C-alpha cells in the first residue's frame, strides 16, 4: 500500500525556519517525481515545489524561491522541504504527493498533510 506521511510542521515565528519531511513507503520512491503542495486555511491548493527522481531537477513557485528548498534522500525514501525566512502567508497545510511514474505533474497519491503556522 502506498503511504506518504508528512511531519515537521508546527508553530514558528515570522523569519523562522522549519524542515518538513515526508516518509514514503509501499512503492519504489526513486522512480517518481515528488512534489509539495500547500493549502492555506479555508483556501485552495497551491503548488510549492517538485523534484526529479534523482534530485537533479527542481522547480518551485516564485513566492518561495530563495526561501524554500526541496530535496530527497532515495536511500531513506524521504522527501524534504527546508523552509527559511517564513512569512505569515506561508501558513498552510503542506502536502507531499507522488507523481504518476510516467509523468511529472499528475499526482496520484497524497499524504495527509502537516500544518505550518507562522505567527508571532
Partner 1 sequence: EIVMTQSPATLSVSPGERATLSCRASQSVSSNLAWYQQKPGQAPRLLIFGASTRATGIPVRFSGSGSGTEFTLTISSLQSEDFAVYYCQQYNNWPPLTFGGGTKVEIK
9 scored as a contact of partner 1 (CB under 8 A): no
Which of residues 19, 26, 100, 101 is near partner 1 by CB under 8 A? Answer: 100
**Residue 17, helix vs strand vs coil:** coil
Question: CA end-to-end span of the chain, whole Å?
Answer: 40
Give the residue with the Cβ less far from partner 1, 12 or 48. 48
95 scored as a contact of partner 1 (CB under 8 A): yes
The minimum distance between CB 105 and partner 1, in angstroms, equals: 4
The minimum distance between CB 106 and partner 1, in angstroms, equals: 5
Task: For residue 58, report the phi and psi dihedrals to the nearest 5 degrees.
Answer: -140, 145
User: Is there a contact between 93 and 115 (Cβ–Cβ < 8 Å)?
Assistant: yes
**Residue 63, helix vs strand vs coil:** helix
Question: What residues pair up with 101 in beta bridges, in sequence order?
Answer: none
Residues in contact with partner 1 by the rule CB under 8 A: 35, 37, 44-47, 50, 59-62, 95, 97, 100, 103-108, 110-113
Amino acid at each position: 500500500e502506498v503511504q506518504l506521511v508528512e511531519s515537521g510542521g508546527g508553530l514558528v515565528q515570522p523569519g523562522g525556519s522549519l524542515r518538513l519531511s515526508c516518509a514514503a513507503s509501499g512503492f519504489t520512491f526513486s522512480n517518481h517525481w515528488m512534489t509539495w503542495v500547500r493549502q492555506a486555511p479555508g483556501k485552495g491548493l497551491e503548488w510549492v515545489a517538485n523534484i526529479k527522481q534523482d534530485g537533479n531537477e527542481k522547480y518551485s513557485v516564485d513566492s518561495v524561491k530563495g526561501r524554500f528548498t526541496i530535496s530527497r534522500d532515495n536511500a531513506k525514501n524521504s522527501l524534504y522541504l527546508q523552509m527559511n525566512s517564513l512569512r505569515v502567508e506561508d501558513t498552510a497545510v503542506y502536502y507531499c504527493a507522488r507523481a504518476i511514474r510516467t509523468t511529472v505533474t499528475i499526482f496520484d497519491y497524497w499524504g495527509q498533510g502537516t500544518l505550518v503556522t507562522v505567527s508571532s
